[in-house]
Amino acid sequence: MNKESKKKEQTIAEARQARKDRQNLKKTQNAAVVIQKVLQQITGQRKVVEMLRQEVDEFLSNPNSSTQPAVELFLVARKLLFLRKYHSGKDDNKYFERLSQLIIRSMDSDSVKVWYVSVALNKAHAVAWIQQIKVVLVITSQLLVSLKPGSVKDNPTIALFLHMLLLFTDCTLWKAHSKAGAPLKNTLRQLCLTIIAHLVKNNLYPNMSELLLNGLGSIPPGLTHHSLSAATTIRMLSMCQYPSEMMLLFISHVMTAPGLILHLNKSSPESCNKIVEAGVIVKCVQVLKTDSVYETISSNAAFCLLGNLIQLYSLHKQELAHSDKILLIESLLKLLDCCPSSPSKNKKSRYSYTYYMHPIFGGVKERIGPRHLDTVMQVMEQVKLLCHHHFIQQLFAVVMTTSPTSSNSTTQPKKVGSKFSVWRHLTAATGRTAPAGAVTAQEKEARQVEICLVCKLYHKCISLFVENLRVDLLTGLSCHGHLVSSMWHTLSNWYPGGSKVLLQAVRTNKADDFLDVLSLFCHCSSHLLVILDEAEFYDKQEFFTLSELQEISYFLNHIIFVSVWEDVTIESSILSSCDSLLTILYGRDNRRRFTLENHWLIKELKVAQFMSEFKAAKPRALKLFQTLPHALPHRKRVELFREQVKMDRNSLGLINTENRPTVVSYITIRRNGLLEDGYTQLADVSTRCLKGVIKVKFINEQGLEEAGIDEAGVFKEFLEEVVKKAFNPDLGLFKENSDGRIYPSPTSHIQEDHLLLFECVGKILGKAVYEGIVMDIPFASFLLNVICGRRHMSMYSSLDDLSSLDPVLDKSLRFIKNYDGDVSDLCLTFSWEEEVLGKTVTHDLKPGGRSIAVTNENRISYVHLMAQFKMYTQLKDQLFAFLNGFRSLIPKDWTSCFSGPELQRLISGDNVEIDIEDLKQHVRYYGGYHGQHKVIVWLWEIVKSDLNHEEKAAFLKFVTSCSKPPLLGFAHMEPPFSIRCVQTTEEEDRGDTVGSVLRGIFSVSRRQSTDRLPTASTCFNLLKLPSYNKKNVLREKLKYAILSKAGFELS
């Protein structure tokens, strides 16, 4: 049973397998039939393709094909497109290139039948031809992307394809158009519009953008001038009639090509002229007025578009309409916001510390695209057109036609603050002065809008651009001196009610429209005034009269005060520009007065309230003192300086609750080694100890310790002795100018350890100022400005202070600056030669300066670089060491509130009439003298009535070694002014004793005392006055002593 079942199953399996094999065989046979059919079809298709390709090849390679009827060309083109779509081959691009050549040639034929476009006039082929030309042109634009501009191989092909695109997007180039009637011309034009719409829909402008970026993204540009012209003028002239959507594509993809208009203007000026005449820029700004447009433009593209629009506008010979000009400026402002340095583009990465250097915008947070990297300098060339004379005249036409109704120049200062010089009306754009009342309110408002936008554009550029480009902008604007003064006249026109009206508008935030004008005016004026010399500023009064400068400084002074003290919100960049100009005017006024007394003070500022807030460290008081210190009277600033010293002492714990010193340092000084011992021992004293009490022990020439009163007087004697030696020109550390003023010597290096000595002298001077000890040291004005910190201000001019160093060189440089002839005839270079230890040393004023000739174009730079070199470059080590020592006691913030002359007064005392009553109230008497003693009464009567101003100064110098009183009066003199009665000769004088005091009180004189001259110990500010019996004897002896300096000494 089991065997039978197994056999049965085996039989069934074999039957199944046999059936399966038969099925497989049938499938194989069927497949073979199918394969044979497919092979036959492929073979047939190949034969057809080969036949078609052969026909195409034969036609395209036939030299006579260009004379064949257009229908033949149309049919061959259809075959080629079929092959390209379904059976592409390696030679298809060559065939397509040949087809384009034949089509272009056919359009130049004199035979109507040969014109390729004539096929469209055949009803049987019209629809097919339109479809064909659309496909052909789309393929043409696509092939342009794959080609390499600049390649010898590809350049002819690029030119061919661009010609093809240009030809079929402008029917006016067709001979059929010239011979057609009006109805047919409209048909042909409509045909072109259809073709253009199809091309635009199929990425014509993105393809053009790729071509332009590939061609212009290299140096030199890869596109030939013919190709570039074609690529950029495709439908440009007629594009202005098209919808804004197409213009937007044109702007986004073509006008964002780097340096496009620059290269086009160089290679094909005719094309540029056509673009200008067609009003392309007007159409562009009409589209760009929509804010949403800028959301699709990248920062690099915005940068390139900015350059192209600037250059396109510069090519306009006629002024744009007011509305179009407004749109242009607004577009440029928006594009600046989109550029790499725009805050709006960087908000998301505000905490990123990765910056990239941009040649125009400096450190930015976006990397320059690789395609734009090589072309940035070309775009910069376009942006620099903002500095050009013609461009500035175009943009600022409405500003420069503003002129005052009268401009009487006067050298006399006049009271300002009540009213500005008023010019009631702007002149017309034609430059003709409008009669009173001729300008309507609407016209005036329109001009104000234009002026504000133009100034805002330049103000933003100045804020965003790197330093060298910013200087070029300011130089370009400042060259139009009338433009700068017209800006001020414009501001006056807007607020003819005077400065109070203008300031009130600022207070109420109703003056935002003029702040950009004000800021640009301040930038330009600062740049301009820095290069004016004294004669141009004061005598010739170029660009501004002195009265106008008073008005300007008055307003700037008050607008900064309003911003700080009244907390009126004004953009920081605008305030900074105002502060720069105000600083220049204040510096000029300090050198040579052009304002009235108390011009710089702010009457609205209550000094008592300010002093209270300053001591309480209120933010607005601290900021005002830092920003506008001259708003306070000089005496109050000195009081604040002494207050800062007092606060510093308390913070360092230098005095205790009983007002006694807690930090005392001891130094030992040899009389014959004052300076050397001073810098050696002071170098080991910490800054805290240096600000404390320093007690000095002198060692005389015999090596013995001198006896002395261990009070402040011995230290004052040490200071005076060191100062007398250190500032002596014979030592070689310092030199004197022709006015006897001191400045560091450029050859001080011949002195061993000269920099350490400079640092020591700086510390000693700082200690004297810190303690309020007056030192009669006349410093050169440039050195005072260095100490004040004004040297580091951005708008500081070295030429202003050169006369305080070298008047002869100053005169020579001003001669070069104003030389009427050709400066190159003087054979100067950017270098300076001097004799050092018998050798001629040449210093370059700039890298390679000895090889750079001075010309009329660069002479301004030369004179400033020379002044910079003489005053700072060759003295930088000495100045740094001196300042390092001085700043160790007196921080920069403490002296920045003073001008140079004011700092000199702080160091050397007040240059005013000596107040004898003040001196009497604060004098101290010793040895029996008192205020009612007859000798003292005689003394004050003689000093007050019998001595003139010079003799009073000599009396003060006789006692204190300085002819000027302390700034805050004799109450602040250290040590206090003292008078002691002496009854013996100088050799016998041992100070006060019980006997000497009693003799002084009762006027009991020794025999020798009436023969003795008055003497002084200047280290103690002590007058040693014998008790004379007669007033005329006292007068005679006192005058002899102070005028001949008999008995003058440093005890």
Active site residue ranges: 1019
CA nearest 963: which of 890, 1033, 908, 898? 908
Task: Count CA within 13 A, CB hemisphere, residue 612.
Answer: 5
- In angstroms, the CA 267 to CA 278 distance is 19
Q: How far is CA 834 from CA 814, 841, 845, 881, in A?
A: 20, 5, 13, 23
Length of the chain: 1051
DSSP type of residue 853: B
Residue carrying structure tokens 């210190």: 629
Rounded to whole angstroms, how far apart are CA atoms 958 and 868?
A: 40
| Sign of the torsion formed by the C-alpha atoms of 873, 875, 878 and 884 | negative
Query: Around Cβ 20, how many Cβ atoms within 10 Å?
Result: 10
- The encoded tokens of residue 812 equal 């020579």
Pair of tokens at residue 585 = 């005017």
Q: What are phi and psi of 776, to 5 degrees?
A: -85, 75
Report d(CA 922, CA 919) in Å as an integer: 5
Q: For residue 279, is it left (φ>0), alpha (ψ between -120 and 50) or beta?
A: left
* CA torsion, ordered 260, 261, 265, 270, to nearest 10 deg: 110
Beta-carbon contacts of residue 379 (< 8 Å; ≥ 6 apart): 258, 259, 303, 304, 306, 307, 360, 372
Tell me, rounded to whole angstroms, the distance of Cα 989 from its chain centroid: 66
Q: Residue 148 burial by CB count (10 A; 0-12/13-18/19+): exposed, middle or buried?
A: middle
Which sign does the torsion angle of CA 308, 310, 312, 314 carry? negative
Asked if omega into 744 is within 30° of 0 (cis), the reply is no
Instruction: Write out the E strands in 44-147.
Output: none
Query: How many CA within 13 A on the CB side of residue 890?
Result: 28
| Kind and range of the H or E run holding 1026 | strand 1022-1026
Q: Which of 457, 428, 432 is nearest to 443 (CA)?
A: 428
Strand pairing class (831-836; 839-844):
antiparallel
Element (H, E) at 834: strand 831-836
